[in-house]
Amino acid sequence: MNPKAIYILPFYSDNDEDLFKSFDGLLEPDITFLKSTLYFNILENLEGKVNNTDIYCIWDATANDQLPEELKNEDYKIIFTNLKNRNELIDKLSTKEFLLYKKNLIVLSDAIAIRSSDYEQYFNLLNVENNSLVIAKTKEDYIAVFGFNNPSNEVISSLVLSNFIYNDFLSRIKSCEHFMHILNDVLLVRDISNFKQLYSELSQKKSMEYCSQKMHERFTHLFVEYKDIVK
């Protein structure tokens, strides 16, 4: 068994009304296409590029008959779950999968601007004997990546209760003895404003470090369709 694990976790379920409302102006099929492209982009940056790591793909149980080809890979471990009940999912992972690995990394599936080398950096920061946490967050202080080397019930519970909001999480773990490594400038694409940020981000040459030409073309399809929004 590999000593490390990454869990790709969608923040919204496939048919979440809050998700569709957040992208006002985009058609529902295009929102779903954006959501899946962000997910596939993460996988592309992991596959064969992060060593000795098991990859868990968390997928909405209501769409278990619609598993995309990109996830039908024998190297991936698929977990079907009710994404509207994140507490239950994290509780199950805490009693099984988290305990199997020396280092665990939860990555929100709507995150972007994470290079393959960044994942190695996250794991390296957990490569200590002391209890350590790695948090990569957005400028708005939403947690996009959460890593740990010694699972603690208090820490995991605080993460879930905080809804992955950094300041809320901090307020809940004042008594925890963990060393925290905080990294910034990850982008989460969860609303129309983030969609505009994504357009700006992918217009920069450095984006090729974490978004391949193939993925650029998928995103560009949406930018062309909604050119009046991203201007």
Structurally, the chain folds into a number of domains equal to 1
For residue 49, tell me if it sits in a domain: yes
For residue 65, tell me if it sits in a domain: yes
The mean pLDDT of 76-90, rounded to a whole number, is 92
In percent, the amount of the chain with pLDDT more than 70 equals: 100
For residue 202, tell me if it sits in a domain: no
pLDDT of residue 128: 80
Write down the residue that tokens 């909001």 correspond to.
165
pLDDT tens, residue by residue, 112-133: 999 999 999 999 999 887 899 9
pLDDT tens, residue by residue, 30-58: 999 999 999 999 999 998 888 899 999 99
CATH number of the domain that residue 178 is part of: 3.90.550.10
Segment holding 5, helix H or strand E:
strand 4-9
For residue 55, tell me if it sits in a domain: yes
pLDDT of residue 74: 87
Rounded CA gap, 199 and 195, in Å?
A: 6
Write down the residue that tokens 């665990």 correspond to.
104
pLDDT of residue 151: 82
For residue 224, tell me if it sits in a domain: no
CA angle (88, 52, 216) in 5-degree steps: 80
Q: Is the pTM of this model over 0.85?
A: yes
Looking at the chain, the number of H-run helices and the number of E-run strands are: 10, 9
14 pLDDT tier (thresholds 50, 70, 90): confident
Segment holding 185, helix H or strand E:
none
Show the domain range for 103.
4-191
For residue 144, tell me if it sits in a domain: yes
For residue 30, tell me if it sits in a domain: yes
For residue 147, tell me if it sits in a domain: yes
pLDDT tens, residue by residue, 128-184: 878 999 999 999 999 999 999 988 888 999 999 999 999 999 999 877 788 899 999
- Pairing type for strands 76-81 and 53-60 reads parallel
